[in-house]
Structure 1
């Protein structure tokens, strides 16, 4: 069983919890996700099964789309609603949705973020959230991310009281973007402490939420002996491809250094397909041998 399951992660469970449950359901150890979703977040979580675990690093680097709700008036330790409130400020009742939309648009393009303390990024071999739980704040390296688009979803600001004004937006961003931090930064631009109050991942690369399956539905399918809905490794990878003969396939399967195919010249990576439509390998340019290609991953 090799391929990718598009899971619609429920709220209140970790990405690792989902991996653990699927391992038990499918009775296989080779299961891994392609990038964590916060426990309070929902939405698309691609899960790699079997040999597909070898391509998880390629899938995790894809762009993401999120439907997000921001809460103005309160900042928290975790930058989302699960943390302790550390600052409050009454929101001006004259703040308009147009003001908020204008501010959103200023974030399109390359932006610099400082990752939150409650994140899995490692500093000196230790995860930031481990420092945070010990009450230690460490210097975090700034990172550049890219916001491809950001669009207002709300027609008006939803007021819960004077220190909780919320609106929703849709953001399409590069891998590695912290939407929690984006919400905090947007709040700062509007002049208020802020946090992310809701997050739903609606796309990972070309995979959309409408294609995803819930854990409950997956469990029913397995228990009923039905075929598990899975995307093949070849279809999961958005890479240029070549189809090779049986003789060529043997050379690629053995991981030989070969001439870079003219059909994919100029590409940073390509997938090699057998005449039967199976994914044989992923190749990339050789670092020192001009015009030749070396294996990135080989699937025996």
Structure 2
């Protein structure tokens, strides 16, 4: 069994839970996920199986699309609804759609984020959430993220009882972006506390929800058909963002033993390229300035 299986992860499960269940359902240990989803977030989780696990880093490089809700008026320790409330600033005068839209526009582009304490980022060998659960504080690293699009998707709804305001959004972002933090940063732009109150990942690794399957559906397919081969995508999808070259037999015989591509035939175009032989993806090569040629970076198949 080999390929990429996009899963529609339900809320209440960790990404590790998904991998654990699939190992039992598919009767194989060589499974990994591309891009952690918090337990309270549902949506697309690309799963790599067999030799396709070598493609995980490329799946993670692709951008992601999210939809969800931001609530203005209070903040939590986890930046979502799972944590205790740590700040409340009642919304006495609801923001206009124009005020919200203008604030969202200021967060589009290259930005710097500070990961939330309740996150899997490692500092001095420990996860930030381990520090948080122990009641310890630590200086968090600053990380660059790119927000390609951040827009409001519904009219803001004001709750006069809780004195909060909520609205739906869509965000298209680079890898490593914390949407929880984006919601908090939006509140800061407006001068109030805020929280991400719901989140769904619509696309990741080049896959969308329409292409994804639930864990129950995978279990049913295995029970009825004994295979999910028709649901698996080839490694090609994981490296679709790179340009590709299809090498002839003579070149393939050389490079499959670890020799670089001839620079005179394959001059530098990009930092990385996909190498195919007979139309099949074999490996990813990266440009070496030292060798002045494309060198093997990640090999999927040598036969």
**Bin for the TM-score computed over the shorter chain:** over 0.9
Following superposition, the deviation at residue 236 of structure 1 comes to 2.5
* CA distance, structure 2, for counterparts of residue 169 and residue 232 of structure 1: 32
Q: Give CA-to-partner distance per residue, 1:219-266, whole Å, 9 cap, x none.
A: 111111253401100133122111123343332322222314746731
User: Is the CA contact (8 Å cut-off) linking 1:242 and 1:272 kept in structure 2?
Assistant: yes
CA 1:36 to 1:250, structure 2 compared with 1: closer, same or farther past 3 Å? same
Report how far residue 287 of structure 1 moved: 3.8
State the TM-score, normalizing by the size of structure 1. Answer: 0.94
Shift of the alpha carbon at 1:115? Answer: 0.6
2:36 equivalent in structure 1 = 36
The equivalent residue for 1:281 is: 283
Map 1:186-225 → 2, pairs under 5 A: 186-225=186-225
Q: CA RMSD in A?
A: 1.7
Unpaired segments ≥5 residues, structure 2? none
Matched residue, 2:272: 269
Secondary structure at the aligned position of 1:38 is classed as: coil
Moved more, 205-214 or 259-268: 259-268
Alignment of 1:216-255 (within 5 A): 216-225=216-225, 226-228=227-229, 229-238=231-240, 239-255=242-258
Deviation at 1:136, TM superposition (A): 0.4
Deviation (angstroms), 1:31: 0.6
Which ranges of structure 1 fall in alignment gaps of 5 or more residues? none
Do the aligned residues in 1 keep the contact of 2:4 with 2:52 (CA within 8 Å)? Answer: yes
Q: Deviations over 1:2-60 (max 9, x none)?
A: 21111111111000100111111111111111110110001111111111111111111
Q: Equivalents in 2 of 1:164, 1:71: separation in Å?
A: 7
Whole-Å Cα distance in 2 between the matches of residues 190 and 40 of structure 1?
A: 26
Equivalences for 1:115-134 in 2 at 5 Å? 115-134=115-134
User: Do the aligned partners of 1:68 and 1:199 also contact (CA within 8 Å) in 2?
Assistant: yes
Alignment partner, residue 94 of structure 1: 94
Question: CA–CA distance in 1 between the matches of 2:205 and 2:47?
Answer: 14
Counterpart CA distance in 1 for 2:261 and 2:210 is: 40
Aligned residues: 298
Of the structure 1 ranges 258-267 and 99-108, higher mean CA displacement relative to structure 2 is found in: 258-267
Task: State which drifts further: 89-98 or 111-120.
Answer: 89-98
